[in-house]
Amino acid sequence: MKNTVLSMLEQSEDFVSGEYLSNVLGVSRTAVWKSIKKLREEGYEIKSVTNRGYMLVKKPDLLSAEEISDGLDVSFVGKQIEVLKTVDSTNNEIKRRAAAGAESGLLIAAERQTGGKGRIGRIWQSDEGKGVYFTFLLRPDMPPNEVAEITLAAGYGVCAAVREYTGLDARIKWPNDIVVGSRKLCGILTEMTAQIEKVEYVAVGIGINVNHKEFSEELKDKATSLYIETGHGINRNDFLRAVISELDKVAEQFLKGFTEEHRSKFKELCVTLNRKVTSVRGGKTIEGIAVDITDEGDLIVRDSSGSLININSGEVVVQGIY
Ligand code: BTN
């Protein structure tokens, strides 16, 4: 009922009378008024004028599953979408749901995370209402060693969506950060539960800095947002819809098997290649030039002696980037 009132107000550029709403919906004027009251409580700005009715003036800047799903046609990612106001971590929530039997394709976004997680045990700062924080569940039929490529694929999907939606020159910092210039825009944390032979489920958690106008002293040289880069605010529902649509396309390609063309598109957007990188593995520092990425998603580094070394995890510092 509340949603029907909302969509009728959205479709009209003028006032819509309470009488008209109650006739079309077959409910009392008081019921219409109660819906208006609820919408106002949710942050919708609705003007009301005696004898003219109601007019929608401004929508709240809130994530809404309904708005994200509007016109979205997906087969793998976001088949079911939920938005939570507050959660410890959307990754944790997806893992809880997966353990309880949730289906592949479920996506959970949150306005705020009280315990947002980054890679290598770091914290992901999740300011309320500014970023887009979400996790989707996949139950791919594959061995655990192929999961790393899902994360690369997700990074590619987000990067492509940011480029398309904003026109920014977003790039991938291997394995799965998205950067604009030398600062980080997005991070991805993939977690999985598996037996030795087979994956049970994968939770792909993505955090994108969207409407942050500034960052703390500690982060300001390392992090950026779409607002900072484009100079204007972004409608998070529309943007998230674009990201999900791109992730769904990439998931389909991934599940069918990536071709050389997909891999070369990834490499074209990868800012790590042909740069000097440093990585610490097992207490040993590897330094060299990143020359390629294997089909399994490993980074190949040529060190000063000319040896080629595969790096498949851990932190890689890329010269010139945060
Ligand atoms: C990183 O760059 O270290 C990864 C950051 C991943 C952050 C996202 S926000 C949504 C999802 N929930 C979490 O707790 N983490 C991921």
pLDDT at residue 159, as a whole number: 98
Most ligand 1 atoms within 8 A of CB, residue of 206, 209, 212, 224 to mutate: 206
The residue with greater pLDDT, 59 or 116, is: 116
Ligand 1 atom with least separation from CA of 88? 14
Q: What is the pLDDT of residues 112-127, one digit of tens each?
A: 999 999 998 899 989 8
279 lines ligand 1 (CB under 6 A): no
Q: What is the pLDDT of residues 161-209, one digit of tens each?
A: 999 999 999 999 998 899 999 999 999 999 999 998 899 999 999 999 9
Above 70 in pLDDT, residue 232? yes
Q: In angstroms, what is the span from residue 115 Cα to ligand 1's centroid?
A: 10
Q: What is the pLDDT of residues 73-122, one digit of tens each?
A: 999 999 999 999 999 999 999 999 999 999 999 999 999 999 999 998 89
Mean pLDDT within 212-239: 95
CB 92 within 8 A of CB 103: no
Ligand 1 atom with least separation from CA of 92? 14
Q: Which residues pair with 134 in a beta bridge?
A: 109, 206
Above 80 in pLDDT, residue 282? no
190 lines ligand 1 (CB under 6 A): no
Give the global pTM.
Answer: 0.86
Q: In angstroms, what is the span from residue 189 Cα to ligand 1's centroid?
A: 5
Type of residue at 121: G
Mean pLDDT within 227-245: 97
pLDDT at residue 274, as a whole number: 95
Type of residue at 54: Y
Pick from 83, 89, 85: nearest CA to 114: 89
Q: In angstroms, what is the span from residue 179 Cα to ligand 1's centroid?
A: 15
Q: In angstroms, what is the span from residue 81 Cα to ligand 1's centroid?
A: 18
CB 246 within 8 A of CB 158: yes
Q: What is the pLDDT of residues 129-138, one digit of tens each?
A: 899 999 999 9
Q: Whose CA is nearest to atom 2 of ligand 1?
A: 187
Above 70 in pLDDT, residue 314? no
Pick from 173, 110, 189, 198: nearest CA to 316: 173
Q: Of all residues in the chain, what percent carry a pLDDT higher than 90?
A: 82
Most ligand 1 atoms within 8 A of CB, residue of 177, 189, 236 to mutate: 189
Above 70 in pLDDT, residue 217? yes
Q: In angstroms, what is the span from residue 123 Cα to ligand 1's centroid?
A: 8
124 lines ligand 1 (CB under 6 A): yes
131 lines ligand 1 (CB under 6 A): no
pLDDT at residue 35, as a whole number: 96
171 lines ligand 1 (CB under 6 A): no
pLDDT at residue 315, as a whole number: 75
- DSSP for 97-156, written as a single string: HHHTTPPTTEEEEEEEESS-B-GGG-B----TTTSEEEEEEE--SS-GGGTHHHHHHHHH
Type of residue at 145: N
Q: In angstroms, what is the span from residue 207 Cα to ligand 1's centroid?
A: 5
Above 70 in pLDDT, residue 256? yes
Q: In angstroms, what is the span from residue 296 Cα to ligand 1's centroid?
A: 23
Q: In angstroms, what is the span from residue 113 Cα to ligand 1's centroid?
A: 10
117 lines ligand 1 (CB under 6 A): yes
